[in-house]
Amino acid sequence: MIPLRFKKFKRKWAFLMGSLKKMVLIRSLVLGLVCMAAGSLCLGKSPAISMKIDRLEDTMLQEVAEGDFRIMVAGEPLDRLTGAEFPALREQELKLQNQKQKDPESDRKLNALLIAMARIADEPTLIYLHELFESYPERRNDVAEAISWYAAENQRRDADWRILVRSLNVVEGDQAKAVMRALVRFRRRSNKAQWIRQVILIGLEQDPEGQQIAARLLTHWTGQDLHSEGESANRIMQQWQEWFAAKYPEELPAVLPVEPADSRWKYQDLLAELQQQKKSTLDLKLGAQAFEKATCIKCHRFGKKGEEIGPDLTYVSRRFQQKEVLLSTLFPSHFVSEEYPTYTIVTADGKTFTGMMGAAGPDEIMLLTAEGKKQMIKKQEVEEIVPVKKSAMPDGLLNLLSKAEVIQLIRYLGTLPEGASDKYRHKLP
């Protein structure tokens, strides 16, 4: 027989274990409710956006589901913007953009507001989005994503197609996926080698889902279906690289840039440093000194300084993002402008000279070499002129600079020099 004392102990033990299980269950339920109330915080994601729109009664920018941004009026989603809402939303967007002390969520709110506006955009809103794209290169990613939403839920317009195609040079990650998905929906196709190449480059940097989207867009544009059953996404992009090399042998290859072994600086390190820098750290004097030290001044004009042989950089901040300027400086031959091609000139006596051709006298050709020297060649001595894929801009220019000088050089080029026009900039009314 089991002693009575042992039975009592057993009953107490069972009671304690039962109570403990209930406590664990209750704790789990509470944590679950907390996580639900906190949205996606428990998953390490940003909290849902909820922002009051000034000057509009009962109007909010609301994230009704993850990544689903809406303009809500009295708790109901707004179907279409009118003359009453657009000015207030535009002013809200400008205030977020121009505020001196930005909160950590400012960039997300700006992106969300553009998407919410684009989804229900009228003609003035679309015009405004296009103006933002042209005037603020650093915001082109967000504007392109917003226009992708408009194209997905409304009509597909040629003007929007051109914006989306141009954004392929700057969009990354999920925003690149959104743009490529939108472009697949357009009947219009691109047969330009440079844009096909850019989609391949985007695909090479994407996850498997993004690579599949890139492949669909490439098939849509070219009519070529390189997909084989069971083939990996990486292999699909490799096949597109091989197809591009065979189809466009005269074009730059569709390969990602490779850091030279002797490069003093790495692109991702410099980009991270550049993105962390605040506007208050801009040092125009150091940037101007770096412009000369890196010999940029020998070929490029910036404001009143430099030569006009290569591209004029006075308005480069109106045309390109700072990361594009950094990329083209580190890897000059990754993108070669059609406006400034490189040639090799072979003379009758067998000499060869390579560089950009510039204006000279009626009997001479001026060639700017990679060393920044002007080589004058008699036209009667020219045997052959051959286009070259490689840029005339030499590699390794940034090796001459310290990290601080590199950052300030890029930021210096991101400003307008003295005397340059500040047109097309949006300002608060």
**Per-residue pLDDT tens listing for the chain (429 residues):** 445 454 555 555 555 555 555 554 445 444 444 444 444 444 456 678 999 999 899 999 999 998 899 999 999 999 988 778 999 999 999 888 887 766 768 889 999 999 999 999 999 999 999 999 998 999 999 999 999 999 999 989 999 999 999 999 999 999 999 999 999 999 999 889 999 999 999 999 999 999 999 999 999 999 998 876 667 767 899 999 999 999 999 888 999 998 888 889 999 999 999 888 766 678 999 999 999 999 898 888 999 888 877 788 999 998 999 999 999 999 988 876 665 667 788 888 877 877 777 666 777 887 777 666 777 888 888 887 776 776 778 788 899 999 999 999 999 999 988 877 766 454 433
* Coil/strand/helix, residue 374: strand
For 323, list phi and psi in degrees, rounded to 5: -70, -30
Q: What is the pLDDT of residue 260?
A: 84
Q: What is the pLDDT of residue 19?
A: 57
Cα 159 to Cα 197: distance, rounded to the nearest angstrom? 22
Cβ contact 247:214 at 8 Å = no
Cβ contact 112:69 at 8 Å = yes
Cα 377 to Cα 365: distance, rounded to the nearest angstrom? 5
This prediction has a pTM of: 0.79
- Name which of 345, 333, 337, 346 is nearest 397 in CA terms: 333
Q: What is the pLDDT of residue 6?
A: 46
Q: How many CA atoms lie within 13 A of 107 on its CB side?
A: 7
Sign of the alpha-carbon torsion through 241, 245, 251, 255: positive
Cα 71 to Cα 145: distance, rounded to the nearest angstrom? 17
**DSSP letter (8 states) at residue 333:** T
- Name which of 325, 320, 313 is nearest 137 in CA terms: 320
Q: In the chain, where are the structural domains located?
A: 45-98+105-170, 189-256, 267-331+395-413, 342-387
Q: What is the pLDDT of residue 285?
A: 93
Cα 366 to Cα 360: distance, rounded to the nearest angstrom? 6
CATH class entry, domain 342-387: mainly beta
Q: What are 427's two structure tokens?
A: 């300002």
Q: In what order do the strands lie in the sheet with 382-388?
A: 374-378, 364-369, 352-358, 342-347, 382-388
Q: How buried is 68 (Cβ within 10 angstroms: 0-12 exposed, 13-18 middle, 19+ buried)?
A: middle
List of residues 6+ apart from 257 with CB closer than 8 A:
267, 327, 330, 331, 334
Q: What is the pLDDT of residue 16?
A: 54
Cβ contact 409:294 at 8 Å = yes
10 Å Cβ neighbour count for 294? 19
* Coil/strand/helix, residue 409: helix
